[in-house]
Structure 1
Amino acid sequence: MATKRDYYEVLGVDKNASPDDLKKAYRKMAIKFHPDKNPDDPTAEEKFKEAAEAYDVLSDPQKKARYDQFGHAGMSGNGGFGGGYGQGGPSMEDIFSQFGDIFGDDSPFGSFFGRGGAGGQRQRVRRGSDLRIKLKLTLQEVANGVEKKIKVKRHVACTTCGGNGSKNGTAVQTCQSCNGTGQVRKVVNTMLGQMVSTNTCPTCNGDGKIVTERCDTCFGEGRVLQEDVIPIKIPAGVAEGIQLSVGGKGNVPPRGGVAGDLLIVIEEEEDGDLKRDGSNVIYDLYVNFVDAALGTSVEVPTIDGKARITLEPGIQSGKILRLKGKGIKDLNGYGRGDELIHVNVWTPKQLSSEERSILERLRSSPNFQPKPTKSDKGFFEKMKDFFHG
């Protein structure tokens, strides 16, 4: 799809929907559009995946908060369903692995979820653990976006055994207890009829296979610890505490399955000159009162380097100057903030005898007497200009 639909619209719920309402809405959509139930509808699988992606985001408090604040742009660069699972979106196995249990084994639609559609059972795909790291960014990197290469130690599939934990990858046999499904079903007769429960096979621990001889490299784990260098593109406008994720760059589970995600928590380094305020940056400029009275030009730091500005004669302390478009790019791509320069007229704390004598002669001069006009706005008027100008 060229343009993503609103996740709330996809599931047919409002922003105040409870977790139970979200689950019910997703269940309804997934049953309606499951490909096995709609073999003649080529769009059914895409709608099924779209519903899974929407539920993945809205059922997760952190992802939901980020989506509510930033929309689809807030999901950019994220793994999992909400961030674009690989190039073609989430696979059917990914969805079955993550959400299959939402339907239950005794559901009339159980053959569609977590089990094969025509005869045998589908073994649940196991998912490895996520990795979480903190990434510090400068104000310039936050403002413009940046590409980083991150070193992480993570569990990857053992290349000697292909990830199954057996010697040379061949010393395995199908588990006889579950016939390779990784699950055992138990039927109990009660007064109300037969009750069916499905549990992880205790013999193979859900693997479906038994390792008869362990791999010498991974000692039967099917995975080894390895240091990887992972490139990641940080979008412009991210903020402190935002969590990005790279799908499939976490740990792989023991003896086969899909890898978890690499979760990246953004931290902002404090800048020596500029302070962030949303999409704007603020700079405190100090000038002596001679320059303030006579006017001057000064250099000020910006995110993109230095800029020279002119101070008009008679500029007052508290004046806010605005450099358009010198702030931080919006995460959703809606333009860029400004740099706000707060002028502070510096009053000397120590004076020489000569300086004191000069100022004493000027003390009673008519032009040195405060005579504010309507154009010399007070604090509250300046703050109004700051927020609405």
Structure 2
Amino acid sequence: MADHYETLGVSREATPEEIKKAYRRLARELHPDVNPSEEASEKFKAVTHAYDVLSDPEQRQRYDMGGDGSGGMGGFGDIFETFFGGGFGGGQRGPRSRSERGDDAMIRVDVSLEEVVFGSQREVTVNTAVLCEACQGSCCQPGTHPVTCDVCGGQGQVQRQVRSLFGNVVTMHPCGSCQGYGTIIEHPCVSCGGKGRVRERRTIPVDIPSGIDTGTRMQMRGGGEVGPGGGPNGDLFIEFRVTHHDIFSRDGNDLLCTMQLAMTDATLGTKTTVAGLDGDVEVEIEAGTQSGDLITVRGRGIQGLRTTTRGDLKIAVQVVTPTKLSKREQDLVRQLAALRKDDAPHLGEFQQSFFGKIRDRFFR
């Protein structure tokens, strides 16, 4: 078996670039379209096979260690590729496109409960791939352009004929000179390294819908990374997380909170104003209000997702018994007790805790 290094005319210490140049030089001389002789055809197959082995780091390592560099498949690999599709893209015909769709991206954004009530707009910063301004996605230095590969003639593929149990089999393989693109970039763009895109931090406006909850995802079409070779952008997915609020929590589109109420206000009733998430809220306390009672203020909750209807604000009351009274206050309370003549303390039906009662009333 011929030595692959000798076939290409390079030393065993040759760099990948030296191997590639040697292959291109020999392929231009021996390609069947240039030299139709049978001898040139056989040499071309040998040169192509040598390049296939030495241009792949793993195959080259196996070959240098004494293997054939084929990974144990030998000619059967070519046969399988013929029947089941080989080369780039599983049987692709014609040159590959340098322009490909970019990857999708996902970011997580923390939003406050205030932003969720009606929705809002936020600017977020993402680190992503954007179009190279220097080459505008062409991958070439400004003023230059790709040239047609002189090995495959712009087809991106070359034929190879191998002997098998079934006779001579012709297979199509990606051109090793242009990597299947059909063209060669002789002067890659310096700014992007011939990729047609660069990484950059950019700021984009994001519309935060009303009514979203933790885990809600939103898709922004075309907001992801620009593709190689200036290809179309992928999509950007935004996952929201609603942060904790010290006063309000939520049940669907309803807002939940508690209110501490003085014993006198609970007894006599009153009107008060509390600060809601979207402005002041007037609350009417009925006389005789008990701990655990629920006051509902209609339409002061969260505006639902994809609707204009708002939930309610639900306030659970906690009546606070004073712990320190002046002598005059104590005398007045004793007078009230004497006037009311309430029943003496006695055992009755078991009552749930205050927070248990609130939970049952909030979520029933």
TM-score (norm 2): 0.61
- Corresponding position of 2:123: 149
- Corresponding position of 1:42: none
Residue 311 of structure 2: SS of its match in structure 1? coil
Report the CA distance between 1:299 and its aligned residue.
1.1
Report the CA distance between 1:268 and its aligned residue.
1.4
165-174 or 204-213: which moved more? 204-213
Q: Which runs of structure 2 are paired with 1:48-59 in the superposition (5 Å)?
A: none
Letter in 2 for 1:305: G
- Corresponding position of 2:279: 305
Residue 167 of structure 1: SS of its match in structure 2? coil
1:336 and 1:216 map into 2 onto residues whose CA distance is 55
Report the CA distance between 1:192 and its aligned residue.
10
TM-score (norm 1): 0.57
151-160 or 205-214: which moved more? 205-214
Report the CA distance between 1:326 and its aligned residue.
1.2
Determine which of 296, 309, 316 is the counterpart of 1:335: 309
1:141 and 1:261 map into 2 onto residues whose CA distance is 24
Matched, 1:274 2:248: yes
1:290 and 1:141 map into 2 onto residues whose CA distance is 36
Q: Which runs of structure 2 are paired with 1:192-211 in the superposition (5 Å)?
A: 203-205=177-179, 207-211=181-185
233-242 or 203-212: which moved more? 203-212
1:200 and 1:280 map into 2 onto residues whose CA distance is 61
* Unaligned stretches of 5+ residues in structure 1: 1-104, 108-112
Residue 168 of structure 1: SS of its match in structure 2? coil
1:183 and 1:360 map into 2 onto residues whose CA distance is 103
Q: Which runs of structure 2 are paired with 1:24-35 in the superposition (5 Å)?
A: none
Report the CA distance between 1:207 and its aligned residue.
4.7
* Unaligned stretches of 5+ residues in structure 2: 1-81
Distance 1:289 1:223, change over 3 A: same
Letter in 2 for 1:243: R
Q: Which runs of structure 2 are paired with 1:80-91 in the superposition (5 Å)?
A: none
The answer as to whether partners of 1:131 and 1:250 remain within 8 angstroms in 2 is: yes
Aligned Cα root-mean-square deviation (Å): 4.4
- Corresponding position of 1:295: 269
The answer as to whether partners of 1:115 and 1:121 remain within 8 angstroms in 2 is: no
Letter in 2 for 1:306: D
Matched, 1:135 2:109: yes
1:192 and 1:366 map into 2 onto residues whose CA distance is 111
- Corresponding position of 2:202: 228
Distance 1:357 1:170, change over 3 A: same
- Corresponding position of 2:341: 366
- Corresponding position of 2:135: 161
- Corresponding position of 1:45: none
2:194 and 2:343 map into 1 onto residues whose CA distance is 86
1:381 and 1:156 map into 2 onto residues whose CA distance is 56
Distance 1:382 1:275, change over 3 A: closer
Determine which of 216, 220, 237 is the counterpart of 1:246: 220
- Corresponding position of 1:345: 319
User: Identical aligned pairs, as a percentage?
Assistant: 34
The answer as to whether partners of 1:167 and 1:214 remain within 8 angstroms in 2 is: yes
